[in-house]
Chain A
Amino acid sequence: MAIVVIAILTFGFIDFAGIIDNPLLQKIQFGPALFSLSIVTLICLIAATLLLGRLYCSVICPLGIFQDFFNWLSKKFDKKKKYGFKPEKPWLRWGVLAVLIIAWLCGFTFLIGLVEPYSAYGRMADELFRPVYLFGNNILAAISEKLGNYRFYKVLISLKSISAFVVAVLTLLVIGHLSYHHGRTWCNTICPVGTLLGFFSRFSLLRIRIDKDRCNHCLACQRKCKAYCIDSANQQIDYSRCVDCFDCIDACKQKAIYFGPVKRQKADEPIDESKRQFLKSTLVIAALAPAALQAKVTGVKDTRVPMSPPGSISHKNLLNHCTACHLCVSKCPSHVLKPAGMEYGLGGMMQPVMKFDQGYCNYDCNLCSQVCPAGAIKPLTVEQKHKTQPGRVVFNINICVVNVNRTSCGACAEHCPVQAIHMVPFEGGLTIPETTPDLCVGCGGCEFICPVKAVHIEGNPIHLEAKAPEQDTVIETQDFDFGF
């Protein structure tokens, strides 16, 4: 089941031909669901955790399944591989979560995106696995083309951004190393989703249980536990870290370990005071995080205002919701969406930004808005998209080829779907661009095609409404002649 889930999820990121239309599995990921406030999804996931424990971490989370793959590899190479028991490090876990929350409140969504497991996996899939898949496809296409078959076609492979690539490689190295040598350490120390679900899984109805009468303290379960959460000596399990992998059940020769409903204990567990205090202090710090800081650190420094994708409403909305999973980046058929560098400031690193060096945003395409699982890009119908203005056209007549070379061009107007840039009479029968920025939908067709970059799109930090073009000079005559 886990293999099927990760296969479908990964395919969602590398699929260039639109074979999977509806990214359902992407929409049930905890991180994006939290950011999009998909209450139903969140309730379902928390309810499932309360019922079954952190099964999510073993069969839904792609990063978890991915780590299990490394773990499996390590066992193949090292038959005697042993884990053990380590006490929980609550300060580290909750500390990381607190830092992330504060960072988010201060506008550094980047940090959450960096460690949020689904997004971290998405970036690896988009930046690392996808090029491999595309390369394979291109080889297939080249062979079939030689044979005169045009069933397969080549696709453009490109490095979308160096920083995103580096981040993906680092993620792969860190995750690979940790999971190969230290099991699920990532999930139980750094991962914010692991920490949150771990909070609920303490109370789960069904859980791994040790039959204290049968157990002979052989430590077999403890050695197999990649989450380091079974204390066989004391017959205790830290349920906040158990990811329901069930390796221990298979390991126990005494059949003392089973997955079942919890027996109610008579005496309440002692309340962990330190944890409570910690939560309180986190909340206080979070509440006090000055809004001024946010404004300062996220201020856009580049002279050109970056453009966020249609449907993202504003830079701020994107910053608050996007975990940079790069699903939109991987789906964009025109190679327009790229992971941002510093365009949105440090906090918005790796979030999608529109760039027109490889293509322009197709007028009738709304794919990115349809796939976003985090509510950072709100769903737009094609009609709604036509009325959205994420940026506006700017024309510099001083370098336009018509003005400089006195030749006709009109490539910009040709590509404009709404005639926000259109040709008007110039000297000697030539025509030169004229802009009506109110009509502009910021698709970047003009910027892409302009041979000298005399036109470009300036982003709107808060998206505006594109005005509908007035209907002009409708040809009414129906009585045509050959004319010659």
Chain B
Amino acid sequence: MDRRDFLKTLAAAGALVTVKSSGMMDVMASTVPSTGAAPAADNADLAAVMNGEPAAMLEAAMKELGGISRFIKKGDKIVIKPNIGWDRTPELAGNTNPDLIVALIKMCQDAGAAEIKVFDHTCDNWTRCYDHSGIEAAVKKAGATMVYAHEQSSYERVDIPKGVSLKNAQVHKAIIECDKWINVPVLKNHGGALMTCAMKNHMGIVWDRRTFHSRGLHQCIADICTYKPAVLHIVDAYRTVATNGPQGRSASDVVLTKALFASPDIVAVDTAAGKFFTGINKSIKFEDIEHIPDGQKLGLGTMDLESINVKRVRL
């Protein structure tokens, strides 16, 4: 990119922020129930929980956020999108913890979801990832539907009007067709993006993601997040691949961190998780994780955790 292109892009991004942030606010506002039992002001914007098992931490976080019914309604068709990128067992934390997925499915079922689909576009061979992550078996046992994502025919090209570098992409039909979706990433180190969390997890809804790398990874990650924002982001940091991510070479790269972050604001949840992560792996500077400020610039949310209602819970 030369200097002129850069300035153009900057100008375009600036214009988009001003135009689109109001649109984002509508999306956020619509997730708040108008006739909720608890007043919306009491509900946290971001819940951070530590020292518990995945299901217990999820429960504590959802209590702070005002319950799952704040985000999904009876009869909704829901997609839960974990990270199932690698042929790794749960102990090696390459993928989202299956216990957390099961707890979330149960919550959605109790809230009256009409349909719950789970999928990820894996990096490693998909059958091995679905199997060894423990997620396919857990999802089926919990009574939700495991959808495959290894075939181009499962995807459809959609426009991304708010995208800066990424103007369109082939997105999985489950995401396109659902009423609401919940993003459930696992927090990990990442060789390229430094950290992978809620925003980076969007690469798993896209088919043609190799172009992300040639067009500028951070901007494309921020761009795809504008397509159809998830109603809720739940970050699994029960076990964290602190070094040699995103796969980790062995168990020695994995730290038992026992944490969970949840928020409808993707930038806030990545900011919180990023600050937590850079406290574990101190060789990474939070400021270098570019896609988080890129997301803020696109109006996806706020990095200023002081400005929102953050609840911290230690179990």
Contacts and interface: CB of A to CB of B under 8 A. Distances in A.
A334 interface: yes
B297 interface: no
A415 B271 CA distance: 25
Contact of B150 (A153, A365, A415): A153
- The interface size bin for chain A is 35 or more
- The interface size bin for chain B is 35 or more
A475 B280 contact: yes
A410 B128 contact: no
Interface in B40-58: 48, 50
B244 A333 contact: no
Contacts of A471: 250, 252
A401 B124 contact: no
**Majority SS at the chain A contact face:** loop
B279 to A, nearest CB: 4
A150 B272 contact: no
Interface of A: 142, 148, 150, 153-154, 156, 333-334, 359, 362-365, 401, 405-411, 413-419, 422-423, 429, 431, 449-452, 469, 471-475, 477-478, 480-484
B190 A480 contact: no
Given A364-B87, A480-B280, 7 more contacts: A154-B151, A363-B124, A407-B219, A409-B192, A414-B191, A415-B247, A483-B278
B290 interface: yes
A413 B248 CA distance: 11
Interface in B134-164: 145-148, 150-151, 153
A385 to B, nearest CB: 13
B281 interface: yes
Contacts of B194: 431
A430 B7 CA distance: 20
B196 to A, nearest CB: 9
A370 to B, nearest CB: 15
Contact of B125 (A362, A411, A473): A362
Given A474-B252, A482-B276, A362 B192 contact: no
A482 B257 contact: no
A480 B50 contact: yes
B146 A150 contact: yes
Nearest to A484: B275
Contacts of A154: 148, 150-151, 153
Contacts of B287: 429
A410 B191 contact: yes
**Among B48, B147, B193, B247, which residue has the most Cβ atoms of chain A within 10 A?**
B247
B305 A333 contact: no
Contacts of B74: none
Given A408-B192, A480-B50, A150 B147 contact: yes
A419 B249 contact: yes
10 contacts: A154-B151, A364-B128, A407-B218, A413-B192, A422-B244, A429-B288, A431-B194, A451-B211, A483-B272, A483-B279
Contact of A401 (B214, B219, B243, B271): B214
B295 interface: no
Contact of B145 (A150, A417, A472, A474): A150
B278 A333 contact: no
B39 interface: no
Nearest to A333: B125
A335 to B, nearest CB: 9
B216 A407 contact: yes
A483 B257 CA distance: 13
Contact of A484 (B190, B276, B290): B276
Interface string B95-125: 0000000000000000000000000000111
B192 A452 contact: no
Contacts of B147: 150
A405 B128 contact: no
B123 A405 contact: no
Nearest to A404: B214
A419 B272 CA distance: 28
Contacts of A415: 123, 247
A452 B214 contact: yes
A410 B190 contact: yes
Contacts of A418: 249
B244 to A, nearest CB: 5
Closest 4 CB pairs of A and B: A410-B192, A413-B191, A483-B279, A451-B214
B214 A405 contact: yes
Nearest to B151: A154
B276 A411 contact: no
B217 A414 contact: no
A314 to B, nearest CB: 26
Contacts of B292: none
Nearest to B255: A475
A428 to B, nearest CB: 10
B145 A409 contact: no
B73 interface: no
B279 A480 contact: yes
B259 interface: yes
Nearest to A401: B214
A419 B148 contact: no
A363 B48 contact: no
B35 interface: no
Contacts of B128: 333, 362, 364-365
A431 B193 CA distance: 9
B37 interface: no
